Chain A
Amino acid sequence: KNEVEQSPQNLTAQEGEFITINCSYSVGISALHWLQQHPGGGIVSLFMLSSGKKKHGRLIATINIQEKHSSLHITASHPRDSAVYICAVAGETSGSRLTFGEGTQLTVNP
C-alpha cells in the first residue's frame, strides 16, 4: 500500500462542474501539498497546508489531520484546469522531502 493514495485516478467533467479530488495518507506529516502538472512536465505548487482550509481563486484545499485526509476542490471548472493533480506529503521527520501520490488526471470538456 502506498503511503499516499489519491482518488479518482482519472476524472472527466463538463465545463462548470464542481470537482473534488481526494488524498489519504498513512504517515505523520508536517505538511501536505497539492501540485498541478501540465503535459509539458513542469510542476506548480497550488497549496501547502498543515491544517484547516485554504482558498485561492476557484481552488479550495482542505485537510483533516485526525483522519489523515485532504481534498482539493475546483469550483466552476474550465478546460484550462485540465492537468494532473498530485497530492504530496512531507513526513514529520523528512523536512521538505516529499512523498507523492500517483496523481489524478483531470479532463474538463467544453
Chain B
Amino acid sequence: EAGVAQSPRYKIIEKRQSVAFWCNPISGHATLYWYQQILGQGPKLLIQFQNNGVVDDSQLPKDRFSAERLKGVDSTLKIQPAKLEDSAVYLCASSLGGRMEAFFGQGTRLTVV
C-alpha cells in the first residue's frame, strides 16, 4: 500500500515570497491533516479536512496560510507571504476517519531566509 506522499521534500524561499506544498493521502482516507513542526517542538495541527470540508482550522494563521482539498483527495497548503518564523517541517497525515490510526508523510522542510 502506498503511503502519504508529500512534495517538495525541501524548499528555501526568501521572506515575503509565496510557497505551496502538496499532499496525496493514502487512497480511501477521508481525513487529512496538515501539521506544522518548528525545530525542537512537537507538531501542531494547522488544519483538518474530512473529505473536501474543513473540520478544524482554528490554529491556521488565515492572514497568510490557506489550504484546500477541492476533490476530497489531494491537498495543497499555501503560505503567502512567508515570514521567517514559518521555517518548519510541514507534515501531512491521513486516516480513514473517526478514531482510526493516522499515517504520516515524509514532510516538507521549509526554510525562509
Contacts of A44 in B (CB 8 A): 104
Q: Is B1 an interface residue (CB 8 A)?
A: no
Cα A21 to Cα B105 with chains together (Å): 24
B109 touching A41, Cβ below 8 Å: yes
CB proximity to A under 8 Å, residues B19-68: 31, 33, 35, 37, 40-45, 48, 56
B101 touching A95, Cβ below 8 Å: no
Count how many pairs of residues, one from A and one from B, have CB atoms less than 8 Å apart in the complex: 66
Residue with the highest number of chain A CB atoms closer than 10 Å, among B41, B99, B100, B105: B99
Q: How many residues of B contact A (CB 8 A)?
A: 28
Closest to A92 in B: B99
Interface flags, B90-110, vs A, CB<8A=1, else 0: 010101011111111111010
Q: Which of B42, B95, B97, B98 contacts A88 (CB 8 A)?
A: B42
B106 touching A41, Cβ below 8 Å: yes
Which residues of B line the A interface, CB within 8 A? 31, 33, 35, 37, 40-45, 48, 56, 89, 91, 93, 95, 97-107, 109
Which residues of A line the B interface, CB within 8 A? 4, 30-31, 33, 35, 40-45, 48, 86, 88, 90, 95-103
Could you jot down 29 A-B contacts, CB within 8 Å?
A31-B101, A35-B104, A40-B106, A40-B107, A41-B37, A41-B91, A41-B107, A42-B105, A42-B106, A43-B43, A43-B91, A43-B93, A44-B104, A45-B102, A45-B103, A48-B101, A86-B43, A88-B42, A95-B97, A95-B99, A96-B31, A96-B98, A96-B102, A97-B45, A98-B33, A100-B43, A100-B44, A101-B42, A102-B40
